[in-house]
């Protein structure tokens, strides 16, 4: 819990500094890249979490991996190393993305489908969600073959389940109750 609070503090501080320098969008892209890279690379994640790996080695790895990053992002990495909080880097990046989305009024719509979304369907979903929420929305697509067909749309705390599996379960409950 203490780590999560610290991550939020670091993310707020970076967002504040980035706002002052009008680089919030660039830093947001860096943070998305950092969060995605750490999530996808178990070796990188293990190196960051490992107390045996020296800070100088971690710094070299990160600055090499994210050499095209904004100076603000590199300063965050330096600060986390100095304060011995580098294991929080992914969490800080994720919190920054959330704070940036709040600042810009963007919401994440999670769409779960049995097959990948087509570009045409993605445009329709974006339009519908914008109509419902009145906010700009970014789509995060998840593929789950167990829903058989249809989709499950989750925006904030609202969920709309139009999956075939859900409809079949409703029918099953109706038949077992009668």
Torsion from C-alpha of 145, 151, 152, 155, nearest 10 degrees: 130
Do 11 and 81 belong to one domain? yes
Do 113 and 97 belong to one domain? no
Instruction: Please determine, for residue 157, whether its predicted confidence score (pLDDT) is greater than 80.
Output: no
The mean per-residue pLDDT over the stretch 152-158 comes to: 81
The percentage of residues in the chain with a pLDDT greater than 70, rounded to a whole number, is 98
Between 40 and 109, where is the model more confident? 40
Between 171 and 134, where is the model more confident? 171
Do 74 and 42 belong to one domain? yes
Please tell me the predicted confidence (pLDDT) of residue 128: 77
Q: In what order do the strands lie in the sheet with 158-163?
A: 136-143, 106-113, 150-155, 158-163
Task: Tell which of 62, 78, 102 closes a domain.
Answer: 102
Do 112 and 95 belong to one domain? no
User: Rounded distance, CA 174 to CA 69, Å?
Assistant: 56
The mean per-residue pLDDT over the stretch 49-70 comes to: 91
Task: Name the burial class of residue 58, with classes exposed (0-12), middle (13-18) and buried (19+) by CB atoms within 10 angstroms of its CB.
Answer: buried
Domain containing 75: what range?
Answer: 2-102
The model carries a pTM of 0.71
Do 80 and 7 belong to one domain? yes
């Amino acid at each position: 819990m203490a780590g999560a609070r610290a991550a939020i503090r670091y993310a707020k501080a970076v967002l504040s500094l980035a706002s002052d320098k009008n680089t919030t969008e660039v830093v947001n892209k860096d943070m998305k890249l950092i969060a995605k890279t750490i999530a996808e690379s178990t070796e990188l994640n293990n190196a960051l979490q490992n107390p045996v790996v020296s800070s100088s080695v971690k710094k070299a790895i990160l600055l090499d991996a994210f050499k095209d990053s904004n100076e603000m992002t590199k300063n965050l990495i330096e600060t986390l190393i100095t304060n011995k909080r580098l294991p929080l880097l992914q969490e800080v990046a994720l919190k920054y993305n959330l704070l940036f989305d709040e600042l810009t009024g963007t919401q994440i719509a999670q769409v779960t489908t049995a097959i990948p979304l087509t570009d045409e369907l993605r445009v329709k979903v974006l339009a519908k969600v914008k109509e419902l929420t009145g906010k700009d929305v970014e789509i995060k697509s998840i593929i789950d073959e167990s829903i058989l067909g249809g989709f499950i749309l989750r925006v904030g705390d609202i969920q709309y389940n139009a999956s075939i599996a859900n409809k079949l379960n409703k029918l099953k409950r109706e038949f077992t109750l009668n």
